[in-house]
Amino acid sequence: MASERASWLRVIVAAVIPVATATATEFVFWSASVRWSLFYLAVFVSSWLGGFRSGVAATVLCAWIMWWYFTPPHYALVKTDVRYYVGASIFLVMGVVISGLHRRLRRRTAEVGNALKKSRALTDRLERAIEERRIFAALIENCTDFISIYDPDGKPIYLNPAGRRMVGLSPDFPIDTLHREDFYPAGLRAVPDLISHTIFEAGWWRGESRLRHWLSDQSIPVSDTQFLIRDPETGNLDGIGEIARDISAAIRSRDELRSANLRLSDALHDLNKSQRFLQGILDYSPNGIVIKSLDGRYLVINHGVEKLTGIRAAEALGKTDFDLFPRKVAERFRANDRVVRETRAALVTEERFQPNEQGRVILVSKFPLLNEQLEVFAIGAIWTDITDRKRAEEEMRLSAHALGVAQHVAHVGSWRWDRKTETAVWSEELYHIFGRDPKLPPPRLLTPDATIFTPESTARLRTAFDKLFATGEPYELDLELVRPDGSTRWVSAHGEAVRDEKGEIIAVDGTAADITHVRALQRMRDEWTSVIAHDLRQPIGIIAMASDFLPEIHAGQMNEKERDFMDRIRNATNTLARMVDDLLDMSLLEANRLKLERTWVDPNTLVAEIVGRQRQTAEHGHVQVLNGHRLSPVYVDPMRIGQVLGNLLSNAIKYGDGQHDVVVNLDRHDHEIEIAVTNHGKGIAPEELPRLFDRFVRSKTTRGTGVPGLGLGLYISKGVVEAHGGRLWAESKPGDTTTFHLTLPTAVWVQEAA
């Protein structure tokens, strides 16, 4: 309303002021030549200032003023001259025309102004669009994501620099030679078609995909967004846009996060399990478990403490040691708590209680509990009943003392040798036997510079150890030791293998008995036996020679009875000679003076020769030999091994049933050759087998046959075999078969042992 009032006021002012000005000018100058000209100017100014309505109003007003005041007759409406009417009419028409022209001019001016305003607005919008496009282009060019635009057929139109770097394309690579699926790995070339189907349905697609790296041909995991690009005015499809971001690091982080979550889940699971385990330990542990505050009050106490002390767990919570135990015990407990708190270290003590009138020994292990600031906030303790252990330790101490006394009385020491460290642990009596200081570590046994035994005994012990590690068989040797003062003594050493849970030999346990006095007696006996045997050889030789020569000297003069008598003398002499030889061999074995003339021999050949000799001397019985295949040579004394096999074959024939062959079987086992001699007969009773190879021992079967002998044959045979590094043992089924097994080291074993 106010704007309309202002508009009319402007019209009136514009119509009046120019007319008034022209009128005043007319009155002043009163010139007919300029009368209408001034009013034309007034109409022009009015229409220019006020518009069409002001111009028409000014025209009418000027015509009336000119007609009334300045056209004669003055002050009369009717004029006498027609020209005045024509002039007034022309003025009115021209005034309206001028006003109309001014209105059209104003309209065109307004339209031009509006057009200029619109042009300015469009210019501003264009400038802003150009700026935005520049910023947008810079944003795309500098964006680290893969940004590409494809035409509707899938041909790439644009690819930003970051996208080129991501897929390994150089800045000048012509992307118009590619197609959309070329950006995908070989196995994912069908993905763009699947994505396009979704894009054309929904207008966009978003998900995880993979792009192909041109240089390494590796696939790059990306978070991909693809969308249709349409003309905003026509809606026509211009192309397909794609924005992809490398999410390799995100996937790694996601995998790490997933792994961390799994670890956290496992940790929580383990924590819950640990809590259940801890609760189970607290509830069912036979040990007492307590936690005390720093002021000595019990915070946690399980049922194990109740069983150990007789104090109810529920009643002990919140109380101190002075409320539960005698004053001396409580003071000791509190003092130990202070030590643990101050030293921040565990403390183990033994405490004695007498709950329910029953003495107990409790092992109390106290330890500090630390918070995150590593400050002690409580004292924990584990109480363990060690009463039975203390009793067992006391019994063990007494047993160890008794064992030490027994070893001292029997002059027997024990030891253990660790294979890995090659160190030994000796009993006290063993130190005494070897004349060593118990405060010093035991000397080395098997090193090249070992001087604890004589060189010969050291070599025998080293061979026994090698054989034990190879076969696991125990050994028993008589060894000569050397004391630090240079004196020598003899020990009977026995060793057995110690195995771990895998069955591997990790150590050797053994004993050593002082047999120096026994060796002295044996030496005296051997000397006596040697003397007696030597003294017997001469008369036996004379008797044998006489029994051979008398039939020749008195040929044809001796009757049958006399010849039979001479044969009996010859057989008895030969038997006595064999006994004397056995006594001499026994003497040599026990004195470790048996000499072996060794050489490499084929086992099959050796057995064939021995069996051939046996067949020539045997009165009855047949021997069957089963040769082994690919047997390694053995390093033996053929004469001594022939003596052993001859003794075994002779026994097999003499004590066999005479109906079955004696079988000799050769075979190879690992590093040794086994020779087995088997016969059929009465056999040997099981209780006699352990003593079969002892001196002067004959089984009941042999004693009942009437065959003479001292019981030294098997004893000497075993000694000879063991001197070769072999073994000899027997197996028998009473009433069926008896087999003697003889083993000899092969060439490989002898070389390794050497």
Average pLDDT over residues 340-346: 90
- In-domain check, residue 131: no
> What DSSP character marks residue 445?
S
One domain, residues 667 and 565:
no
Asked if residues 415 and 425 have their Cβ atoms less than 8 Å apart, the reply is yes
* Token output for 404: 């030490």
- pLDDT above 90 covers a percentage of the chain that reads 6
- In-domain check, residue 251: no
| Least confident range of 1-15, 199-213, 621-635 | 1-15
One domain, residues 310 and 349:
yes
Per-residue pLDDT, 188: 83
Q: Which letter, b or e, does each residue of 97-113 get, where b requires 16 or more Cβ atoms within 10 Å of its Cβ?
A: ebbeebbeeeeeeeeee
Average pLDDT over residues 673-688: 90
- In-domain check, residue 119: no
Asked if residues 681 and 656 have their Cβ atoms less than 8 Å apart, the reply is yes
| Least confident range of 191-200, 217-226, 264-273, 728-737 | 264-273
What's the mean per-residue pLDDT of the chain? 80
Q: Is the pLDDT of residue 139 over 60?
A: yes
Kindly indicate the confidence band of residue 135, based on its pLDDT and cuts at 50, 70 and 90: confident
Which of 190, 215, 246 represents a domain boundary (last residue)?
246
Find the angle CA(508)-CA(511)-CA(513) to the nearest 5 degrees: 155
| Least confident range of 214-228, 542-556, 712-726 | 542-556
Asked if residues 19 and 58 have their Cβ atoms less than 8 Å apart, the reply is yes
Which of 186, 215, 246 represents a domain boundary (last residue)?
246
Q: What are phi and psi of 646, to 5 degrees?
A: -60, -40
Structural domain that includes position 216: 143-246
| Least confident range of 22-36, 104-118, 522-536 | 22-36
One domain, residues 636 and 680:
yes
**What is the distance of C-alpha 63 from the center of its chain?**
120
Identity of the residue numbered 258: R
C-alpha 540/C-alpha 533 separation (Å) is 10
- In-domain check, residue 252: no
Average pLDDT over residues 115-123: 85
Q: How far is CA 601 from CA 56, 221, 625, 725, 728, in A?
A: 159, 78, 17, 15, 19
Residues 510-535: pLDDT tens digits? 988 888 887 777 677 666 666 666 66
Q: Is the pLDDT of residue 741 over 90?
A: yes
- In-domain check, residue 470: yes
One domain, residues 423 and 352:
no
Specify the higher pLDDT residue, 232 or 405: 232
One domain, residues 605 and 749:
yes
Which of 537, 569, 587 represents a domain boundary (last residue)?
587
One domain, residues 346 and 429:
no
Kindly indicate the confidence band of residue 710, based on its pLDDT and cuts at 50, 70 and 90: low
Average pLDDT over residues 711-725: 83
Average pLDDT over residues 688-696: 80
Residues 372-421: pLDDT tens digits? 888 888 998 888 888 777 777 777 777 766 766 766 666 788 888 888 88
User: Partners of 600 in the beta sheet?
Assistant: 635
Per-residue pLDDT, 730: 92
Residue 210 parent element (H or E): strand 204-212
C-alpha 473/C-alpha 495 separation (Å) is 9
Q: In total, how many domains does the chain have?
A: 6
Ramachandran class of 386: left when φ > 0, alpha when ψ lies in -120 to 50, beta otherwise: alpha
One domain, residues 292 and 419:
no
Per-residue pLDDT, 749: 43
Per-residue pLDDT, 659: 84
- In-domain check, residue 124: no
One domain, residues 373 and 441:
no
Asked if residues 196 and 202 have their Cβ atoms less than 8 Å apart, the reply is no
Asked if residues 718 and 693 have their Cβ atoms less than 8 Å apart, the reply is yes
One domain, residues 624 and 735:
yes
- In-domain check, residue 166: yes
CATH number, domain of 694, equals 3.30.565.10
Helix or strand or coil: residue 350? strand
Within 10 Å of residue 65's Cβ, how many Cβ atoms? 19
- pLDDT above 70 covers a percentage of the chain that reads 79
Per-residue pLDDT, 751: 41
- In-domain check, residue 135: no
Q: Is the pLDDT of residue 538 over 70?
A: no
CATH number, domain of 179, equals 3.30.450.20
One domain, residues 60 and 177:
no
Q: Is the pLDDT of residue 145 over 80?
A: yes
One domain, residues 607 and 715:
yes
One domain, residues 159 and 224:
yes
Find the angle CA(253)-CA(257)-CA(262) to the nearest 5 degrees: 150
